[in-house]
Each structure stands twice: as structure tokens, then as C-alpha cells.
Amino acid sequence: MTDYKVELTGLIKFFGRRLIFSGINFSFLSGNVYGISGPNGSGKSTLVKIIANLISPTKGEVVHKFSDKPIDEDSIHHFLGFVSPYLFLYDEFSAEENLIHFARIRGMKFNKDYSDLLLNELKLYERKDDLVRGYSSGMKQRLKFAFALLHNPKILILDEPTSNLDSEGKEKVYQLISEGPVRQNEEKDKLVIIASNEDADLSLCKEIIEMEKFKKQVQSK
Amino acid sequence: MKAYSLFRKDWQSEIRTRYAINALAMFILVTISVIMFSIGSEKISEYLTGGLLWVVIFFSAMSGLSRAFVSEEERGTTMTLQLIASPSTIFSGKLIFNLLLVFLMNIAITILFSILFPSFLIKNFSLFMIAFFFGNIGIAVSSTIIAAIISKAGSKGTLYPVLSFPILLPLILTLLELTKFSMDGNAVDDSLVEIAVLVCYDVIMTTASYLLFDFIWKE
């Protein structure tokens, strides 16, 4: 069994005295696409950051399991790919240099063929040697997908994945999510979590967590 | 190896942006020039030049070494690092980068002092080198962990020297003492207590920094 599972238990998050959400209990299983929806400020990005182990919940816990074995917090990044508008890559490097550095820091050998394939799929191949500083916001967003997929993660967390993208870019993202692999030997049972307000993004999801529900629940208590 | 890869990324980035190197070079030049103008043709004692050396080193470290983490925070790439490496890898990579900067910076300052101040005379060079080596490690480790702390704060510029002063004070005082000993020509054997203090400072700061970094790094 190479199942990937993320279990959220009793998640509560406060920023200062302001409650963001409370009482989130949920299990995400590999091979499925999940959505997180809600109006602006409802805590979608906060929740995905907690799932990605980027910030801590005020209460509750997030457990990542691979083949039913819990993954150590310091190792979660090996299994995780993350895309969001508030993620920034290094402007002073080219797209390929960014990917080379990321692969090496992860402790992987840089796979040039796969990197070229990803950049080609994301229509960045021709500009791969240009500094990221000169990229448009849409191109930077595409590059983030290469960053997220380069190490063949088991879980892909996408926060507003189609922001800044043109229609062709959006189609490519939907194709990556629904068809999954761009590499033949890549795992076909990724766990994908999408946080978005876009109906088109959420239409790919099997199950959707509505953040507003978790705020109301607590407020009524 | 991962930490070394992170160091390589930082070094390549520094070569392209030259933010820390330029800040350090300008600070060293300006400080030494101000000291020379204020001294004029006066002859200053050798102990005073030894003290001034560590004053320049302390404030130069304040001007350039915070970049290790502050630059990541300002560019918004802190999260990117969190997504690709464990906290210990990140701290080790940043520490290697700051170690290199500290050694380069302090070698340049010491050479400039030797050329520009005739009274800066070291009689026991090996004792000075021991103090210099362990002192640089102490400065690099302390600066790196303080940089990590202040990168999460609002007023980064003012907080760095304020927080550094109490942490670096025991180190600077020991280094001043050892520099004085090396100017007097004392033997290494006679300065073992001070050297032991220096080594203990480095070990304690390194251990505490690795333990603390996990809590500082994750919000």
C-alpha cells in the first residue's frame, strides 16, 4: 500500500483574538481531489498552510501518513507540492536555475529531462534561461507548478491555482489536476487539495470543505 | 550536502545582487576612514587599536549579516524555503554563508588595520589566530540566529544591534582580552582559560541555536 492520507483533528485557529475557524475534522485520501471553498477571509489559505505544515494550528493536529505510517514534521516537504499566489521564487535566477537549486536543496539529483518536460508543458521552455524577474505574473504562476511537481510529490496543495493565468494556462492546470501525471512513471494516485473560489476550479473536486460552516458553528456556540 | 546546496544558492544570489558584500565593504571603508580622520596625526596605543578592531568587526557584522534571513523575508521566499528543506538544513546553509562572510570581512578588516595603524602590532600571532578563528565562529553563529529572530519582527533594522549587543558582549570582551594578550606576546598556554571561554561560547551558541531555530522558523 502506498496510500497517502492527511488527517485533521479538532483544528482551531486564532490570529490574535480573532477566530479564523474551529472544529475542523477531516480525512484526505490519495487518489482524490478535494476542494476548500469560502468567501475572502474565511481561512482557506490559513487551512492549506496548516495542512502544508507552514504554520501551526492554535489547537488540534494534522497528521500526514504514508502507507499508514505517520510522517515526521521535518520530512513532510519531501511528499508535498505547493502552489499559491503568495509563494515567491527567486527573481535573480532563471527558471531552470531556480529548479536546479530547489532539486539540490531537496537532496535530489536534478533531472534535466523531467524539468524540460515540465517547462515545455507549462509553455516556459523557450524562456527557461531568462531571469524570473522579467516574467509576467502568469508565467511566474506557471513556474510555481514546475516547482511543485519537480520532486513528484504525493500530495499537491493548490491555493487559488488559476490566479493570474490566461485561459490556456487554466486549461493546462485543469489537465494536470484531472489527468495527473506528465511523466509516465509518475504516481497516478496523488492527493490534490484545491483552495479556491472559482467554480471551474472546484468542479474538479470530489468533496468540498466549506469554511463558512466552521466559523458559524463556533459563533453559535 | 543539502545545507551546502542552500549555501551555494545563497552565494550565487549574493554574487548577482551583491547586497551583503556591498553593505559590508562600504561599512568597513566608512568606519575605518572615520577612525583615521578622528585620530589625525595622534599616536594611539596598541591596546586601543586592538579594541577598535573588534568595535569595527562588531558593527560591520551588524550591517551585513542580518541579510541571511531578512532578504528571504523581504522577498517573500521564506515559505519557498520551508517547502523544500527542514529547519536544520536551512539553519546550517545560512550559517555556512555567514561563516564565509564573517571570515572574509574580518580578514579584510584585520589586513586594513595592519596597514593603516602602525601601532596595531601582534607579538603572538598564533594566539591571535586562535582567538580570531573561534571569535569568527561565535560571531557567525550568534548573528545567524539573531537574524532569524529579527526577520520575523517588524522593526528589523533597529532590533538587530539591540538584540546582538547582550548576546555578543561576552564574546567581544573575551576577544578583547585575547587580542591584548597576543599584543603583549603572552604564550598560548597562559591564555587557555580565555580560549576555553571562547570555545564554550561557540558550542553553547551553536547548540542553543539549533534547538531554538525550529520554534523561530515555524509561525
Q: What is the pLDDT of residues A99-109, one digit of tens each?
A: 999 999 999 99
C-alpha to C-alpha distances, B18 to A89, A98, B14, B183, B205, nearest whole angstrom: 18, 18, 5, 35, 28
Which one has a higher pLDDT value, B68 or A86? A86
Q: What is the pLDDT of residues B22-69, one digit of tens each?
A: 888 888 999 999 998 988 888 888 888 889 999 999 888 888 788 888
Q: Total domain count for chain B?
A: 1
From the list B16, B76, B85, the residue facing A105 with the nearest CB is B85
- The residues in A 89-118 lying below 8 A from B, measured between CB atoms, are 89-93, 97, 101-102, 104-107
Range of the domain at B134: 2-217
Residue with cell 468542479: A203
pLDDT for B164 equals: 86
Whether residue A178 is predicted with pLDDT greater than 80 in this model: the reply is: no
The Cα of A92 is separated from the nearest Cα of chain B by a number of Å equal to 7
Q: What is the DSSP string of B96-109?
A: HHHHHHHHHHHHHH
pLDDT < 50 stretches in chain B? none
Whether residue A220 is predicted with pLDDT greater than 50 in this model: the reply is: no
| Fold that domain A4-219 belongs to in CATH | Rossmann fold (3.40.50)
- The residues in B 87-146 lying below 8 A from A, measured between CB atoms, are 87-89, 93
Q: Is A134 exposed, middle or buried (0-12, 13-18, 19+ CB in 10 A)?
A: exposed
Whether residue A44 contacts residue A215, with contact meaning beta carbons closer than 8 Å, is answered with: no
Task: Name the least confident of A123-132, A197-206, B154-163.
Answer: B154-163
Residues in A closer than 8 angstroms to B13, CB to CB, are 90, 92-93
Which one has a higher pLDDT value, A202 or B12? B12
The Cα of B207 is separated from the nearest Cα of chain A by a number of Å equal to 18
State ipTM: 0.87
Residues in A closer than 8 angstroms to B83, CB to CB, are 52, 54, 77, 80, 82, 87
Whether residue A82 contacts residue A148, with contact meaning beta carbons closer than 8 Å, is answered with: yes
Rounded mean pLDDT, A11-30: 89
